[in-house]
Homo-oligomer: A and B are copies of this chain.
Amino acid sequence: MTETTELINQLDELERSLYVFHHLSSQVELDAMTAAPIDSAAGRSVVTEYLSKERYAAFASEKTGKLLSDLVERKAELPEKTARQAEVLKRDYDRMKAVPQEEYVQYDILVSEAQNVWLKAKLNNDYASFSPYLKKIVESQLRFIEYWDPDHKQKPYDVLLNEYEYGLTADMLDKFFDEVKQTVVPLVHAITEKGWQPDTEFLNKYAPLEKQRELSDYLMDVLTLDRAHCSIAETEHPFTLEFNKDDVRISTHYHTDSVMSSFYSVMHEGGHALYELHTGDELRFTSLASGASSGIHESISRFFENIIGRSKGFCDFILPKMNELFPGQFESVTEKAFYQAVNTARPSLIRTEADELTYCLHIMLRYEMEKALINREISVDDLPRIWNEKMKEYLGVDVPNDTKGVLQDMHWGGGMFGYFPTYALGNAYGAQMCERMKRDVDVERCCAEGDLKPVVSWLTDHVFRYGCLLDPIPLFNQYCGAEFTAKPYCRYLKEKYSEIYGL
C-alpha cells in the first residue's frame, strides 16, 4: 500500500465516524423539533454533551490534523474528490480546533438548551426568559470570531457568513439589498396605493387534516420525490433534514383553516429534499454529501415553492386536484382567481408566511439587526424594540407581541448568525438560475402539465450532483454561466406583480 493510499483509507475512516456524529446529532435534533415533549431537555443534555465531546475528540485530534495537512500537501496526487474532501475538512478542522474543547462542548449544550427555552418563550410570549440564553450565544459567537480570525483579516460578521455561504461578504449583501429595496419598496407602495387585493376567503375554509395529508402525498409525487427515501412529518416550523441521500425528511404544519400553508411548505421543503436526494452517489457518507451552501439550497426550495409553485401554469394545473380533494371549497373559483389569491402581496408579521414580494424585507430587517449585534452596535435587550420599529418602517405593520415578532424564528437561539441573508440570496439565485434553465428546458410547459421531471433532471445535472465539490460562488458561476446579480430577481418580481395588480 502506498503512503497516499494509506492516507486515503484513514480519511475514509474519519468520514465514517463523522457521519455517525452527523446522523446521531440530526436524530436528536429532529426528534426535539418534531416529537419530544416540551420538558424533556434533561436527557437530551446528557446525550448532547457526550456527542459533542466524542466528536471533538475524534475530529479535533492531532492525528486528524496531521492527516488533513498531509493530504492537503499532496493535493496534486489525489483524485479530485479526495482533494476536495481534504480541503473542506481542513477548513472545518481549523475552525473547530481554534475553539477550546471545553468551550466547544459547553456551547453545544447551551444551544441545545436555548432551543428548548426559545420554544417555550415563543409559546408564552416571554422574551425575558430567552434573552439570557441569547446573550450567552452572542458572546460565544463574538469569541468564536476572535478564534477564527485572530488577525482581523475579515470584518467580524463576514467571519460568520463564511460558515453558511463561503466567500460571501456584508459588502456584497449591502449592495444586493440596496438593489432589491429599490425594486420592492416602490412595488409594495404601488400595491398599497391601488387599494385592490384578490379575494382569498375561499383559501381559509375548513380543509380536513387527512385530506391535506393526501394533498401532501400528491405534491410529493408531482415533485418526483422518491418516497422510499423521503418521508414527511408534522412540526411547528417546517424544515428539511438529511441523514444521507437515501434518508431525507421533510416536515410540514397542517392548519385546517389554511390549506395553502402546508401546500407551499411541502413545495418548499420538497425542493430542499430533491437537492439532497440527487447529490452524487460517490459523495455519500462523506463531508461533500450535501448541498453546496445555505443560499444555493434555498434557491432550490424557493424555486419550487414560488417560481414553479406560484406560476400561472402550475396553479392552473393544480386547481382541479384541489377541487377533487376539497369538494366545495374551490367550486366557483376561476383559474385566474386562484392564481391571484396564492400570489397576494400584503405586508404581514410572520416571515415564513410572508408572500414572495415582501419576503425579502423580512430578511433585510434580520440581516441589519444581526449585523449590528455582531458589530456591537446594539444589544440583545434592544432586539424587541428595534424589531418592532423596523417592521413598522419597512412593512408598515404593528407587531402585537414578541411571539409574532422577535421570537418567531428559531435561528438566533440556534446560534445561526449569518444564516438569514442566505434566504434572500436564495430567492435571487433562483431567479437567475431559472433564466439560464429556460434556455434548455420548457419550464412553462412543465408547470402547465405538472411534469417536473425535465426540471429536476436539469437541476441534477447542473447543480445537485455536485454536492459540495465546489464552493457556492464558483458553482453558481458555473451553472449560470455568469456572475450573480440581483437583476433577474428584480425583473421577475416587477413583471409578475405588475401583471397581477395591473400596475
Q: A36-B231, A228-B39 are in contact. Are A285 and B46 (CB under 8 A)?
A: yes
Measured CB to CB, the closest approach of chain B to A41, in angstroms, equals 8
Quick one: closest B residue to A213, CB to CB? B209
Q: What chain B residues lie within 8 Å of A246 (beta carbons)?
A: 39-40, 42-43
CA gap between A37 and B246 in the complex, in Å: 9
CB-contact partner of A210 in B24, B27, B47, B208, under 8 A: B208
Q: A27-B31, A47-B23 are in contact. Are A40 and B247 (CB under 8 A)?
A: yes
CA gap between A16 and B19 in the complex, in Å: 24
CB-contact partner of A37 in B17, B50, B230, under 8 A: B230
CA gap between A42 and B229 in the complex, in Å: 11
Measured CB to CB, the closest approach of chain B to A416, in angstroms, equals 23
Return the CB mask of A217-239 against B: 1 if under 8 Å, else 0.
Answer: 00000000001111101000000
Q: What chain B residues lie within 8 Å of A17 (beta carbons)?
A: 50
Q: What chain B residues lie within 8 Å of A333 (beta carbons)?
A: none
Q: A208-B209, A209-B208, A256-B210 are in contact. Are A20 and B39 (CB under 8 A)?
A: no
CA gap between A465 and B231 in the complex, in Å: 38
Quick one: closest B residue to A28, CB to CB? B27
Tell yes or no: A443 within 8 A of B by CB. Answer: no
Tell yes or no: A137 within 8 A of B by CB. Answer: no
Tell yes or no: A248 within 8 A of B by CB. Answer: yes
CA gap between A249 and B37 in the complex, in Å: 8
Quick one: closest B residue to A17, CB to CB? B50
CA gap between A459 and B50 in the complex, in Å: 35
Measured CB to CB, the closest approach of chain B to A117, in angstroms, equals 14
**Do B36 and A247 have beta carbons less than 8 Å apart?**
yes
CB-contact partner of A20 in B16, B19, B46, under 8 A: B46
Tell yes or no: A397 within 8 A of B by CB. Answer: no
CB-contact partner of A42 in B28, B47, B230, B244, under 8 A: B244
Q: What chain B residues lie within 8 Å of A34 (beta carbons)?
A: 35
Tell yes or no: A455 within 8 A of B by CB. Answer: no
Measured CB to CB, the closest approach of chain B to A167, in angstroms, equals 30
**Do B208 and A37 have beta carbons less than 8 Å apart?**
no
Tell yes or no: A342 within 8 A of B by CB. Answer: no
Tell yes or no: A482 within 8 A of B by CB. Answer: no
**Do B46 and A16 have beta carbons less than 8 Å apart?**
yes
Q: A31-B30, A35-B233 are in contact. Are A43 and B208 (CB under 8 A)?
A: no
CA gap between A210 and B17 in the complex, in Å: 42
Which residues in window 1-50 of A have CB below 8 A to B?
Answer: 16-17, 19-20, 23-24, 27-28, 30-31, 34-40, 42-44, 46-47, 50
Tell yes or no: A127 within 8 A of B by CB. Answer: no
**Do B31 and A43 have beta carbons less than 8 Å apart?**
no
Tell yes or no: A164 within 8 A of B by CB. Answer: no
CA gap between A43 and B210 in the complex, in Å: 30
Q: What chain B residues lie within 8 Å of A420 (beta carbons)?
A: none
Which residues in window 437-462 of A have CB below 8 A to B?
Answer: none
Tell yes or no: A304 within 8 A of B by CB. Answer: no
Measured CB to CB, the closest approach of chain B to A466, in angstroms, equals 21
Tell yes or no: A243 within 8 A of B by CB. Answer: yes
Q: What chain B residues lie within 8 Å of A19 (beta carbons)?
A: 43, 46
**Do A23 and B40 have beta carbons less than 8 Å apart?**
no
Return the CB mask of A115-131 against B: 1 if under 8 Å, else 0.
Answer: 00000000000000000
Given contacts A16-B46, A40-B231, A209-B209, 13 further A-B contacts (CB under 8 A): A19-B46, A27-B31, A30-B31, A30-B35, A37-B247, A38-B227, A40-B243, A42-B246, A43-B244, A43-B246, A43-B247, A44-B247, A208-B209
Interface residues, chain A, with chain B CB atoms under 8 Å away: 16-17, 19-20, 23-24, 27-28, 30-31, 34-40, 42-44, 46-47, 50, 208-210, 213, 227-231, 233, 243-244, 246-249, 256, 285
Which 5 A-B pairs give the minimum distances between C-beta atoms?
A: A40-B247, A39-B228, A37-B231, A209-B209, A43-B244
